[in-house]
Structure 1
Amino acid sequence: MRLDVARRGRRHPISLTPLIDVVFILLLFFMLASHFDQWRALALDARGAKVGAAVSGEARAAMLLRLHADARIDLSGESLTPAQLEQRVERALERDPELVVVIQSAPEVELQTIVSTIDHLVSAGAPEVRLQ
């Protein structure tokens, strides 16, 4: 019996062309499926404001909100949950639609806590949010 050694040692090279085609198709798919122009932005006035101070030349009502390092939210010394905060802001906006919400945070407060609080305020309908 004779074995064909020459055929066994010879391998067909793997072609990279189909792999490159698949990568380009995936790249094209993700480029067309992505939306790069729909970034959410939060409008903030980072100048800070004193509660009850004149804003733009006229006196406007302001609500002072304090954020603590342990993620507590205080409104006039009363601890609130995010859902309670939204309800309070909605009620305050019924009385004064141009209410300014001033956030005063401790230096140890995480950025995510501040952004989450701002999200709750925006979803409650607060027209102006300021950081102090």
Structure 2
Amino acid sequence: MRLDLARRVRRNPISLTPLIDVVFILLLFFMLASHFDQWRALALDARGAKVGAAAPSAARAAMLVRLHADARLDLGGEPLTPPQLERRVVEALERDPELIVVIQSDPEVELQTIVSTIDRLVAAGAPEVRLQ
């Protein structure tokens, strides 16, 4: 009686080619299914004052809105809520349509708070909003 204990069973090696194909198909799918354009862009003018530049001939009125780190905001030192700020801006724009709104914020204020305030001011009709 003869036993073949040394007989080896040969297995096929696992091929990585189908796995790589699946990865590339998924990559292609997600590249085609997503879009990389920006939904909304916030235009910020980061130009500084030029040295030796002449002052504008007609000074325009400005309104200072201050954002505090503890989520408070004030207009000229008077604390306001965001809806009150919108009403004040609308009233001021009725008197002076060329009004500039300047936002001054504490360094700890979150960016989302600043962007939300800018959105509110633009929705109220402010023609020019600046960050200080």
The two structures have a TM-score, normalised by structure 2, of 0.68
CA distance in 2 between counterparts of 1:14 and 1:123 reads 61
Shift of 1:31: 2.0
Shift of 1:70: 0.8
Structure 1 residue identity aligned to 2:102? V
Determine the structure 2 residue equivalent to 1:19.
19
Structure 1 residue identity aligned to 2:121? L
Calculate percent identity across the aligned residue pairs: 83
Shift of 1:103: 0.9
Shift of 1:73: 0.8
Structure 2 residue identity aligned to 1:78? E
Q: Deviations over 1:14-40 (max 9, x none)?
A: 333332222222222222233323353
CA distance in 1 between counterparts of 2:96 and 2:32 reads 45
CA 1:38–1:107: 2 relative to 1, 3 Å: closer
Superposed counterparts of 1:55-70, under 5 Å = 56-70=56-70
Q: What RMSD, in angstroms, separates the aligned Cα atoms of the two structures?
A: 3.2
Structure 2 residue identity aligned to 1:68? H
Normalized per residue, which structure has more helix? Answer: 1
Determine the structure 2 residue equivalent to 1:41.
41
Aligned residues: 124
CA 1:86–1:37: 2 relative to 1, 3 Å: same
CA distance in 1 between counterparts of 2:104 and 2:17 reads 59
CA distance in 2 between counterparts of 1:14 and 1:82 reads 63
Asked if residue 30 in structure 1 is aligned to residue 26 in structure 2, the reply is: no
Q: Deviations over 1:57-77 (max 9, x none)?
A: 322221110111212110122
Superposed counterparts of 1:1-132, under 5 Å = 11-38=11-38, 40-46=40-46, 56-132=56-132
CA distance in 1 between counterparts of 2:112 and 2:38 reads 20
Higher radius of gyration, 1 or 2: 2
Between 1 and 2, higher relative CO (CA 8 Å, sep ≥ 6) is seen in 1
Structure 1 residue identity aligned to 2:110? E
Which segments of 5 or more consecutive residues in structure 2 lack a partner in the other structure?
1-6, 50-54
CA distance in 2 between counterparts of 1:108 and 1:43 reads 22
